[in-house]
Amino acid sequence: MSDVPRIRVAICTYKRNEPLRNLLDALVAVAEKTKSRATVGVVVVDDNPDKRAREVVDGFVGAFALGIEYRTSGKANISIARNLAITTAMEGSDWVAMVDDDCEPEPDWLCNYLDVLELTGADCATGPMNLRVPEGSPAWLSKQPFFEDVRFEFENAAPMNVAATNNSIIRASFLRDNPKIRFDPEFGKIGGEDMVFYRTAHGAGLAIRFAKHAGVWGNEPPERATLKHQVMYRFWLGNSMTVTNSYFGESRLRLFARGAKIVAKSLLRPFRRIVELESPQFRYCLASSAMGLGMIAGVFGYKKSH
């Protein structure tokens, strides 16, 4: 067993005790499924000033072979919390997996990651996050492609230049050998910190692959099952795309053109669908247009908090 890799799962949590409990329950099943191939531990960083997640973590003491460790940040800045999480998780481990506190991985999550990592020899892998809404949510959320345009979808083992912290795994030795590659606190309030982190790491030589079958479920709460949320979320997403791509040197003119193209394509989409005798999907048109407008707003210096 000394040759079995050690994986610690790094989680940051903020005002989500019940989703965190569901995630930890899912990770117990993951650890059981993975035990012949790896030993698993968990690190939870509580970003709540009142330390409310401690009671949840205490309920899982003894549930993982490598233990469960509780740390506090309380800064309400996700970058600071993520840095504490990976710094803690990289010690005494071979791999650091990351997942958000409102997600649930399938039992074979880490096994599917190990398959890709062993096949390719990569330093990192990322997988899809499949969003789902609670029972009783509006039917249009599922019938229209609201969750398709926010999900990674590539061939298994395909090379990537980026990864997402809602579902990824990275070699612990890379983190130890590159102490300056960390999550930027400037992005801790507006989001996009994971895109900047992983693109920077890739530029420093981190080999990233896509693990098509290492998916997690993102559980949307009822308050997000509204058109207002979908519009505002995509506006933020587009704005974050501009902010992060500007950080890496993409010109404002090109970003403006990309945003304008998204708006134009979104507004034309219902008419094209009507001609093809399909439903126009006006709600999705509005939400996808908001992504382009968010990009354009970012060109003019606007930064929307996440």
DSSP 75-125: SS-HHHHHHHHHHHHTTT-SEEEEE-TTEEE-TTHHHHHHHHHHHH--SEE
> With 60 as the cut, is the pLDDT of residue 2 above it?
no
Q: Which residues are within 8 A (CB) of 187 and not within 5 positions of it... i.e. 6 or more apart? A: 79, 193, 196, 243, 244
pLDDT at 227: 96
Give the mean pLDDT of 176-194. Answer: 95
Give the mean pLDDT of 155-161. Answer: 96
> With 90 as the cut, is the pLDDT of residue 238 above it?
yes
Phi, psi (5° rounding) for residue 295?
-60, -45
pLDDT at 152: 82
Q: Which residues are within 8 A (CB) of 115 and not within 5 positions of it... i.e. 6 or more apart? A: 211, 213
Element holding 171 (H helix, E strand): strand 167-171
pLDDT, tens digit (0-9, with 9 covering 90-100), for 49-92: 999 999 999 999 999 999 999 999 988 899 999 999 999 999 99
Give the mean pLDDT of 5-16. Answer: 96
* Interstrand relation of 124-126 and 216-219 (parallel, antiparallel or unpaired): unpaired
Q: How far apart are CA 81 and CA 102, in angstroms?
A: 16
Q: Which residues are within 8 A (CB) of 134 and not within 5 positions of it... i.e. 6 or more apart? A: 219, 220, 221, 222, 225
Amino acid at residue number 188: G
pLDDT, tens digit (0-9, with 9 covering 90-100), for 80-104: 999 999 999 999 999 999 999 999 9
- Percent of the chain scored above 90 by pLDDT? 92
Binning pLDDT at 50, 70 and 90, where does residue 1 land?
A: very low
- Name the one residue in this structure whose structure tokens are 């130890």: 176
Choice between 3 and 6, residue whose per-residue pLDDT is larger: 6
- Name the one residue in this structure whose structure tokens are 């902010």: 243
> With 60 as the cut, is the pLDDT of residue 130 above it?
yes
DSSP string, 2-48: TTS-EEEEEEEESS-HHHHHHHHHHHHHHHHHHTTT-EEEEEEEE--
Q: Which residues are within 8 A (CB) of 161 and not within 5 positions of it... i.e. 6 or more apart? A: 199, 202, 208
Q: How far is CA 215 from CA 68, 94, 190, in A?
A: 22, 21, 25
Binning pLDDT at 50, 70 and 90, where does residue 190 land?
A: very high
Give the mean pLDDT of 210-214. Answer: 97
This model's pTM is above 0.75? yes
Region of poorest pLDDT, from 6-15, 107-116, 146-155: 146-155
pLDDT at 105: 97
Structure tokens at 24: 């930890």
CB-count burial class (<10 Å; 0-12, 13-18, 19+) for 291: buried
> With 90 as the cut, is the pLDDT of residue 151 above it?
no
Q: What is the mean pLDDT of the chain?
A: 95
